[in-house]
Amino acid sequence: MHRLKTPQDLEAWRKVIKQDIDPDRPRLRVCGGTGCRSLGGPQLVDALQRALDGAGQSGQVEVVVTGCQGFCEQGPLVTVAPEEIAYQRVSPENAEAIISETIEAGRVVEELLYADPDNGHRSLRESEIPFYSHQTRRVMVLNGKIDPRRVEDYLASGGYQALSKALVQLEPEGIIEEVIRSGLRGRGGAGFPTGVKWKLCRREPGDIKYVICNADEGDPGAFMDRSLLEANPHSVIEGMIVGARAIGAKEGFIYVRSEYPLAVETLGIALAQARECGLLGRDILGSGFDFDIQLRLGAGAFVCGEETALMASIEGRPGEPRPRPPYPAQSGLWGQPTNINNVKSWASVPLIIANGAEWFAEVGTESSKGTAIFSMVGKINNTGLVEVPMGISLRELVFDVGGGIPGGKAFKAVQIGGPSGGCIPAKHLDTPIDYDSLTNLGAIMGSGGLVITDETTCMVDLARYFMNFVQQESCGQCLPCRWGTQVMLDTLTRICDGQGQPGDIETLERLAKTVKVASLCGLGQTAPNPVLSTLRHFRAEYEAHVYEGRCPAGVCRGLITYEIDPEVCTGCMVCARNCSVGAITGEKKQPHMIDPELCTRCGLCMQVCKFNGVTVH
C-alpha cells in the first residue's frame, strides 16, 4: 500500500488504480451485507469460486464481495458486470448456471431475475426494478458497487477527493460555510443544521477538541447506519477527517454497536488502511494536519445513542446521560469541546465538499435538503434500504419503492422514528417526508427506521411494545422516565390483557405529558411519543380494548379466542399434534375443537393448518 505524502501522491495513485481496472473484465458482485450473509452469502461466494475454478475462469473473472446493496428481501444478490445483470435469491446451487450460462455463453439465467409480483415481468438490470428505479442514491451510491475492504475501490470511485480539497483549497471556515450552505441537517433524527453545529464547536476556546461518529444505531427496525458502515466505511472516515479539520479536532471516535460485528470488522480494516496510506495520522497529505480515529464498541445499551450517554460510555463509565447545557460543543468528551454527528451526516460531508453545496441542495425541499435514507421493514413486500429525495410522499415510498403490503392486506400506518417517533395513518399517506411535515403529524424523521403495519397489527400492542422497550432501556437516573414509563407500560399491558378500566386512556395521556416534560434526556422526553401518536390516530382502537373488550386487529391474547371451523376441518390432526398444551381434541377425520380454558393463544394451530380452518375472534 502506498504512503501518500501529498495530494499529488493521492491523485497519482488514483490514476494508477484506475488504469489497472479493466472495465470489460467480467465481475461478479456478491452482496455481503448482514442480510445476504445470513441468507447464505458466504456459501454462495465459495460455490461461485468453485464453479469458476471448474470452468478454468478464475483468472479472468473476479468475485467481489460488496457491502449491503439494499434489497435485502431478495437476497442473496449477485450482479454480473459489466452487463449489470441483477440476479436475486441466488443459492449456491445456481452458481454453476451463472458461470456456464452467463459468463461463458453470454446468456441470461431468466429464473434468477427479479419478477414483478403483479405481472411476472422480469427485469434484467437493477435500474429496471421499481425498488431501485424510484430511488435517488447519493450517499449510498457506492453501496454494492465497491469492495468495502479495499481502499483502492473507494479511491477509484473518487474517494478522498473531498479530503484533498478540504486540506489544500479550503480554510476551516470555508469548509463550514460550504456545509452550512448545503442545508445538511443532522441525520440522526433531530435535524439540527450540521454546519452550524460545527461552527459552534470551532468557536469554543481550547486546543483539544474531539469529533465523534454516533453509530450506536439502537432503534429497533433501523439498519441504515449499519449498511453504510458495511458497504462504504471510507466515506464516513473521510467525512470525519474533513469535519475534524474544520472544527480543529485531532482525535475522533466511532462509537458503534457491538450487535453489528460485520460493521465493526469492516470499519477496523478501513481505519487500518487509511492509517497505512497516510490518510489518518500525522501530517495528513503533507498539510500539517494531524488526526486519528479510534473505534469504540457499545455494549448493548440503547440510551448510549443519546450523545451525553455516548460520551460517558467512551470515557469508560455507565452510559448515563446528563442534563444539557452545557452542550457537547461546549463541554463534551473529558470536558473538551466535542462534535457528534450521525453516520449518514458524516457520509454526506465528502459529497458536499467534492460536488459543492449547490449540488447537494438541488435535491429535497426548502427546509430539508438532500436525500433521506430509510430502512423499510415490517409488513412490506420490498424490505430493504432505500435512499429517496426529501419531500417524497409516503405513498410513493410505501407503494412504489416498497411494493405495497404483502398478502393483499390493507395498509394501516407507518411507524417512523422508532421508540421516539410516531405513526402516520393511511389518511396522511400523501404527506411529504421532511423534518417539518413529520413533526406536524406528531411523528419525527428520526434516524430512518420505517416500520410498515397492516390491518393485522394492533396499534395498542405496538405502543406497548415500544413502551416496554424504553422502560427496559431507561437508565434509571430520573424518576419520570424510570417510573413514569413503568406505570405507562403497566397500564398498556393491562389494556392489552383485556383488563383495561375506564380512565386508563386518560391516565396514559396525563402521564405522557409529565414524562415528556420532566425527563432528563431525549430517551425519556420522547418515550411517550408512540403512545401519544397512536392515541391521536387510533383512539378508537384503544377504546375497543377498554370498553368493548375487543382487539380489532386480533392480536392481543387476552381479548381473542381461536376456533376451528367444523365445516373446513378435515380432522387431519396436525394442529392437535402441534399444540404444546393439549388444548385441541378430536377424533381422526372428525372436526376438532379448541378448549379455550387450556389454549394459550400461541397461534401455532393457525400456522400449521393447511386448510385455513383456524380462525381468530
Partner 1 sequence: MTYSIIDDARVILAGHTNGESSLLAMLEEVQGRHRYLPRDVLILISERLDIPLSQVYSVATFYNAFSLEPKGCHRFQVCTGTACHVRGAMQVLDRLETQLGIQAGQTSADLEYTLETVNCLGACALGPVVVANGSYSRHMTASQVDRLLRRIKRDA
Site residues for partner 1 per CB under 8 A: 34-35, 38-39, 72-73, 75, 217-223, 226-227, 258-260, 296-302, 313-320, 375, 377-379, 383-384, 415, 418, 449, 451, 453, 457, 462, 465-466, 469, 473, 475, 578, 580, 600, 602-604, 607-608
Strand residues in 88-244 grouped as ranges (E): 114-115, 122-123, 210-215
The residue whose grid cell reads 399491558 is 493
d(C-alpha 196, C-alpha 180), whole Å: 6
Residue count of the chain: 617
Q: Which is nearer to partner 1, 446 or 522 (CB)?
A: 446
Angle between helices 194-203 and 233-247 (to 10 degrees): 40
Give me the residues paired with residue 212 across strands: 253, 340
Q: Which is nearer to partner 1, 195 or 418 (CB)?
A: 418
Pairwise CA distance, residues 409 & 399, whole Å = 13
Distance in angstroms (rounded) separating the CA atoms of residues 279 and 277: 6
Least Å distance, CB 457 to partner 1, is 5
Nearer to partner 1, 391 or 446 (CB): 446
Are 400 and 389 spatial neighbours (Cβ–Cβ below 8 Å)?
Answer: no
Q: Which CB, 261 or 503, lies closer to partner 1? A: 261
The CB-of-534 to partner 1 minimum distance in angstroms stands at: 13
Q: Alpha-carbon distance 166 to 473, whole Å?
A: 40
d(CA 437, CA 472): 30
Task: Give dist(CA 174, CA 396) in Å, integer.
Answer: 37
User: Please, what is the minimum distance in Å from the beta carbon of residue 88 to partner 1?
Assistant: 12
Closest contact distance (angstroms) between CB of 473 and partner 1 is: 8
Q: Nearer to partner 1 by C-beta: 236 or 354? A: 236
Q: By three-state DSSP, how is residue 333 classified? A: helix
Amino acid in position 151: V
Residue number with CB closer to partner 1 (170 or 459)? 459
- CB of residue 145 to partner 1, shortest distance in Å: 20
Comparing CB distances to partner 1, the nearer of 10 and 451 is: 451
Residue type, 440: N
Q: How far is the CB of 221 from partner 1 (least distance, A)?
A: 4
Q: Give buried/exposed letters for 556-582 (b at 16+ CB in 10 A, else e).
A: bbbbbebebeeeebebbbbbbeebeee
Backbone angles phi, psi at 141, to 5 degrees: -60, -30
Least spacing, CB of residue 291 vs partner 1, in Å: 18
> Closest Cα to residue 36, out of 64, 78, 5, 6?
78
Least spacing, CB of residue 111 vs partner 1, in Å: 21
Name beta bridge partners: 65: 30
In this complex, which beta carbon is closest to partner 1, that of residue 158 or of residue 603?
A: 603
Q: Where are the alpha helices (DSSP H) in 79-214?
A: 95-97, 105, 130-133, 151-156, 161-168, 172-182, 194-203
- Per the CB < 8 A criterion, the answer to whether 30 and 42 are in contact is no
Decide the pairing of beta strands 114-115 and 122-123. antiparallel
Which of 194, 383 has the CB closer to partner 1? Answer: 383
Q: How far is the CB of 67 from partner 1 (least distance, A)?
A: 13
Around 484, how many Cα atoms within 13 Å sit in the side-chain half-sphere? 26
CB of 505 to partner 1, least distance (A): 23
3-state secondary structure 435-465: HHHHHHCCCCCCCCEEEEEECCCCHHHHHHH
CB of 146 to partner 1, least distance (A): 20
Strand 411-416 relative to strand 562-564, pairing? unpaired
Q: What are the grid coordinates assigned to 609, written together?
A: 393448518
Least Å distance, CB 248 to partner 1, is 22
Cβ proximity to partner 1: between 53 and 490 the closer is 490
Is the Cβ of residue 465 or residue 483 nearer to partner 1 in the bound state? 465
Query: Grid coordinates standing for 95?
Result: 452458481
Return the C-alpha cell found at 306. 443519546
Give the C-alpha separation, 187 to 193, whole Å: 10
Quick one: 10 or 72, whose CB is closer to partner 1?
72
Q: How far is the CB of 454 from partner 1 (least distance, A)?
A: 8
Look-up of cell digits 375497543: 544
In whole angstroms, what is the distance from residue 253 CA to residue 242 CA? 14
Tell me whether residue 13 or residue 469 sits nearer to partner 1 (CB atom).
469
- Which of 4, 301 has the CB closer to partner 1? 301
From CA 294, how far away is CA 243, in angstroms rounded? Answer: 15
Are the beta carbons of 66 and 81 closer than 8 angstroms?
A: no
Closest CB to partner 1 among residues 217, 434: 217
Those residues with Cβ within 8 angstroms of residue 371's Cβ, 6 or more apart along the chain or in another chain? 136, 137, 138, 139, 363, 364, 387, 388, 389, 390
